[in-house]
A = this chain, B = another copy of it.
Amino acid sequence: MNVIKVGGAVVEEPASLSILLDQFCAVPGPKVLVHGGGRTATNLAKQLGIESQMVGGRRITDAEMLKVVTMVYGGLVNKNIVAQLQARGVNALGLTGADINLVRAHRRPITPEGVDFGFVGDVDSADGAQLMRLLEMGITPVIAPLTHDGQGHMLNINADTMAQTAAVALSAVAPNATLTYCFELPGVMRDPADPASLIPQITEESFKALVADGTIAGGMIPKLENAFAAIRAGVAAVRITHISDLQGGTVIVGN
C-alpha cells in the first residue's frame, strides 16, 4: 500500500512525467498517486493577468486564483495523468478531496501574523475506508491537491500535505502504508549539485540539526515536517527520492 507524491517540474514536463509514470506502474500492489502542478498554475495565472503571491512557500488563493488551480490541478494535470495511466493499463481515477467527500477541510483562518491565505484548506479528516474501497476494486486513485469545505467551495491544499493526509488515512485502515515523495533530485542533499551528498536517513533529531546549520532550507522544511507528521500519525515509512528510483533516496524515520 503505497502513496506516491510527485510534484515540482516532474508532472509538467512530458519526458519526466513519462519516466515517473513508468516507475509508478512498476510499483507492485495497490497504490495512490498524488500530484502537484504549481508551475503550470503560476504560468496560467500570469497569462490571465493574475499575480501569484506566495508566503512561506504557500500560495495565497483568492477567488480568481482558486479558479486557476481548480482548472490546472483538477482538470489539466489530473486528467492528463489519468489518460496516460489508462494507456499503460492502470485503471486510474482522478479525484480531489471533494469527490466522494474524500477529504474534509475548512478554510484556513487568518494567521496570527495577519496573513489571509484565502481559499486554502486545513484538513479536518480523510476517509481511508473509501480510498481502500477503491483500491480493492482495482482502481488507482490519482489525487489532485484540492479539497472542499463541505459548504460548496473548493479549497486549495499543498500537494505534500494531501499526500501525507492520504497516507495517514490509509494507515488507519491498512498496515504498512508507506509514503514516497519523488521529485527531480536523488533525495535530500547536503549539496544539490553533488549527487554524492545524498543524506540516506534523517531522524527528527538530525532534522533539527540540519535545519539549524542551514543544510535543509526553503521548501524542503515543510516537506520534511509533513514526513515526520506522517510517521507520528502511523505511516510505516516515508521516502524522499528521484522519480527514476522509487526504492532509493532518503528515508525518514522516527527517533
Q: Which residues of B contact A84 (CB under 8 A)?
A: 152
Q: Which residues of B contact A78 (CB under 8 A)?
A: 74-75
A71-B72, A71-B76, A78-B74 known; A93-B99 Cβ under 8 A? yes
Q: Considering the complex, give the chain B residue whose CB is closest to the CB of A104.
A: B86
A contact residues vs B (CB 8 Å cutoff)? 44, 47-48, 67, 70-76, 78-80, 82-84, 86-87, 91-96, 98-101, 133, 137, 139, 146, 148-154
CB pair A86–B148 under 8 Å, yes or no, is: yes
CB pair B70–A100 under 8 Å, yes or no, is: no
Contact of A83 among B79, B94, B133, B153 (CB under 8 A): B153
Q: Which residues of B contact A82 (CB under 8 A)?
A: 96, 98-99, 148
A79-B154, A80-B154, A154-B79 known; A98-B74 Cβ under 8 A? no
Q: Which residues of B contact A48 (CB under 8 A)?
A: 47-48
Q: A71-B72, A74-B94, A92-B99 are in contact. List 11 more A-B contacts (CB 8 A).
A: A47-B47, A70-B76, A79-B99, A79-B154, A82-B99, A82-B148, A86-B148, A87-B152, A91-B101, A92-B100, A94-B99
Q: Which residues of B contact A146 (CB under 8 A)?
A: 79
Among A72, A75, A94: residue with most chain B CB under 10 A: A75
Contact of A75 among B76, B151, B153 (CB under 8 A): B76
CB pair B86–A101 under 8 Å, yes or no, is: yes
Q: Tell me the bound Cα distance from A154 to B80 in angstroms.
A: 7
Q: Tell me the bound Cα distance from A74 to B142 in angstroms.
A: 14
Q: Tell me the bound Cα distance from A149 to B86 in angstroms.
A: 9
Q: Tell me the bound Cα distance from A99 to B94 in angstroms.
A: 6
Q: Tell me the bound Cα distance from A71 to B149 in angstroms.
A: 21
Q: Which residues of B contact A80 (CB under 8 A)?
A: 70, 154
Among A74, A84, A98: residue with most chain B CB under 10 A: A98
Q: Tell me the bound Cα distance from A139 to B74 in angstroms.
A: 19
Q: Which residues of B contact A76 (CB under 8 A)?
A: 67, 70-71, 74-75
